[in-house]
Structure 1
Amino acid sequence: MKNNQCSQMTEAEIFDEFRTITEIQKEAAEKNKNSVYKKICARVVELTQDLKDRPGDRRSVLLPLLEHENIQVRLMAANETLAVAPEAAQRTLQEIRDSGWYPFALDAGMTLSAFRSGRFRPE
């Protein structure tokens, strides 16, 4: 993972890093490498927060990742775009939940449940 200051990165660079690290995160989840998984989560939050803070909230640049072949990339992109594209993000989360591919399906299902009940309100 890069230690670049997000504010110095282009949207394309953020997109590429988000995709790359969430691909790695899938492997970490499947191999129970929790410290790697958590470190990547922290970086995803940094990248996404930077996009949110840009004029016009640029998290929508992550929307193409909702169609990515990697289930973890789709999951993280859906989680991080719920505030800006709730219908598309929910559709992706529902597809992941319905896949039954654990632990990803469980994560997607819990996020959907919390979002739909109002317990989780993405900003």
Structure 2
Amino acid sequence: MRKPDLHGMATPDLVALFAKVTVDQDEALLGNRIAKFNRLFGVMIEISDELKGREGDQRTALLSLFEYPNMQVRLQAAKLTLAVAPVEARRQLKRSHPRNGFRKPATPACVSIFWMMGRSSRNDGMWGGRRICFGQPAEPPVR
């Protein structure tokens, strides 16, 4: 992917690019192409930084992605809007919880969701000895 000129793009175009990059991230992650995922993650952060730097912190435009069909897009949009729309972002993160029907292999993004929602980093995404991201019991961490 050639590096786009983010500064010259309109906000709706940045949101569309964010969605495309995040869908590509999801495909890279599912295909175990970690280097590609990492490159795309950098592009995603650049898009977020560009939106943040615009007048009025335009990251709120990412709220429109909360109804996007791809779960990875919704998760990344929610994580990156926590600072500007915490209530809506937390609601979106909770909708993605395994008890609410979301099932996907755990990823670093999945673990970080629970950390950002106030879980202790000491338990590394664990809740009562269960790894929530997997939706199945896991071995408790060695202390």
TM-score band w.r.t. shorter chain: 0.7 to 0.9
User: Which amino acid in the other structure matches residue 59 of structure 1?
Assistant: R
Distance in 1, matches of 2:80 and 2:120, equals 16
Aligned to 1:112: 114
Q: Matched residues in 2 for 1:103 and 1:95: separation?
A: 16
The structure whose residues are more often strand, as a share, is: 2
SS in structure 1 at match of 2:118? helix
Structure 2: runs of 5 or more not aligned = 122-143
Q: Tell me which amino acid in the other structure corresponds to 2:89.
A: A
Q: Is the 8 A contact 1:65 1:73 kept in 2?
A: yes
Gaps of 5+ in 1: none
TM-score by length of 2: 0.74
Whole-angstrom distance in 2 between the partners of 1:100 and 1:82: 22
Give the secondary structure class of the aligned counterpart of 1:103.
Answer: coil
SS in structure 2 of the partner of residue 116 of structure 1: coil
Aligned-residue CA RMSD (Å): 1.9
What's the CA shift for 1:111?
2.1
Which one-letter code corresponds to 1:82 in the other structure? L
Distance in 2 separating the partners of 1:31 and 1:77: 22
Question: Normalising by the residue count of structure 1, what TM-score does the alignment of the two structures yield?
Answer: 0.85
- For the residue of structure 1 that corresponds to 2:14, the secondary structure is helix
**d(CA) in 1 for partners of 2:113, 2:45:** 16
Alpha-carbon offset, residue 2 of structure 1: 4.2
2:28 alignment counterpart: 28
| Higher RCO structure (Cα 8 Å, ≥6 apart) | 1
Partner of 2:103: 100
